[in-house]
Structure 1
């Protein structure tokens, strides 16, 4: 396995090295809150409506790029966790298994709707394991929001009943879990092969299934990896040209929630590094685009429904050197 220091090195595509032209790669990261808007009922129909919006935008981007899609799973894995607790005949399934379930669920919906829009294209959903450090500092300081939003009274009851940690997400409270940083994409060879075959690849879903090394190989880790950090690791390993983070926010804002709030439309990694953003929401997205832009790519943050405009720099936030 490659050392951690080598993971950020560009990978040379074999076809390109032989002089065969292939479209550049774009990594598109879809936020779990964009696919299931906060405050909306967590129904299949609500999610499907947003998946259709994503599929239409991806179809346009695919005209010029080979695409790897990473999606979030915060609302979805939280819902699975609640359903998991409702059945009391057996012990609840661990969080890494629920992440895998959400990968399959969301990946299926995305693959089907993308192929409905692009019937001649091949679309593959790949359950993806990502190596993390079992002793990551986030294990002691959870920051990753999952599940629904609650008012003060609801949050207190659920926290006491289930031994959950709750933190504020805007005007609401949500459950938070550990979010270890991604170190290595275990299934990278499969992603490479699918993209070389010019398939649209849905991978690293929900940030990927967190695993760590043990004496008996890999084992699951109780956490949810931030999908934006996984998307950046993927984009760097693929030597992608662009990283597009689509969420339920239309841009990166300074002084968010105040009368002085203002959108950042263009920034360099150094400029963006001057500001602090919440660890449980915009913070990882900003960290991701800074990392990828510093690596030499071009990164964007914007609203799911304006994906093409974000990529064309007519909307959202663009970060580059």
Structure 2
């Protein structure tokens, strides 16, 4: 029975046509979980990782709007909040989707802390925008009063930016492994809650965003998954994207993927981290494979009918 770690893209939680409300998200998640239940019903053992970009942004925005009546929570706490409510929606929807397929399996969410290196070079140059837009005057005030790093964002205003360090260790990995055989675990939500380890062994949350695809890769390594699957908006990875000579890829070896990355074929912040996470997985696990495809084609991709498969050779 194959073990698979599935990383859900933003479109699996919220569509362009749905309202940015709890009800709107739940409607999309129900569709997503129908697809996930199909995979589980075929006998795959799986774990789920999800993003949280829009959700954590709205949590931050709500706190900023209400700052005169309730304290603003730090970013790591907002990330934990997003893990909780997104996980709740997935638990509810996936449990039902499994039951109608006559599969009765527990689904749980683990609030997941991921250790990052406090000396990671990403902290020297924060680039990940989070939260609302501000005027230049408001941004300068936040820099002075709270020490935030603020950057102008494409003429739309100023936003707070945080680092995106590499994940080093999943603190709850033993719990995830213990639950694996009997339970579908939702973990590493939003890339995980970023924490650093202090010399005395305590953990301390930091303002950062871990890329959820790299968090999924680390999880796939540590649970010894056979397949790492990243579900996104497109059925296949393409080179020469958006050009007349666009070419969709059925397969990529590690060598081919590295060449395409060198050529700049994949957009940073979009397809690039997905491909790089898949490359890391197969580099560490040469006998295994990674797949990038769309949510609605996930089962077909596992059957070898579509998607882009990344292998060592």
Note the 1:132-147 alignment, pairs <5 A: 132-144=116-128, 146=130
Q: Secondary structure at the match of 2:291?
A: strand
SS at match of 1:212: strand
Gaps of 5+ in 1: 1-22, 149-154
State the Cα RMSD in Å. 2.5
Q: 1:213 and 1:311, CA in 2 relative to 1: closer, same or farther beyond 3 A?
A: same
Q: Which moved more, 1:39-48 or 1:228-237?
A: 39-48
**Which structure 2 residues correspond to residues 216-231 of structure 1 after superposition, within 5 A?**
216=200, 217-231=202-216
Residue in 1 aligned with 2:151? 165
**CA apart distance, 1:44:** 2.1
Q: Which residue of 2 aligns with 1:286?
A: 275
Structure 1 position 186, deviation (Å): 0.7
CA distance in 2, matches of 1:66, 1:141: 39
- Superposed CA deviations along residues 93-121 of structure 1, whole A, max 9, x for unmatched, are 11111110110011000011000111311
What are the ranges of 5 or more consecutive residues in structure 2 without an aligned counterpart? 143-149
Displacement of 1:188 in angstroms is 0.6
Classify the secondary structure of the residue corresponding to 1:318.
Answer: strand
Does the 8 A contact of 2:5 with 2:216 survive in 1? Answer: yes
State the aligned residue count: 289
Aligned equivalent of 1:7: none
Question: 1:257-296 to 2 correspondence within 5 Å?
Answer: 257-274=242-259, 275=261, 276=264, 277-294=266-283, 295-296=285-286
Alignment of 1:23-172 (within 5 A): 23-37=1-15, 41-63=19-41, 64-89=43-68, 90-119=70-99, 120-144=104-128, 146=130, 157=134, 161-162=138-139, 164-165=150-151
TM-score (norm 1): 0.82
Q: Which stretch shows the higher mean deviation, 252-261 or 56-65?
A: 252-261
Deviations 1:211-263 (A, max 9, x none): 00114511001111111001001101111001111122332222223333322
Distance 1:145 1:254 in 2: 27
Structure 1 distance, partners of 2:86, 2:219, is 19
State the TM-score, normalizing by the size of structure 2. Answer: 0.84
Q: Measure, in 1, the Cα distance between the counterparts of 2:211 and 2:195.
A: 14
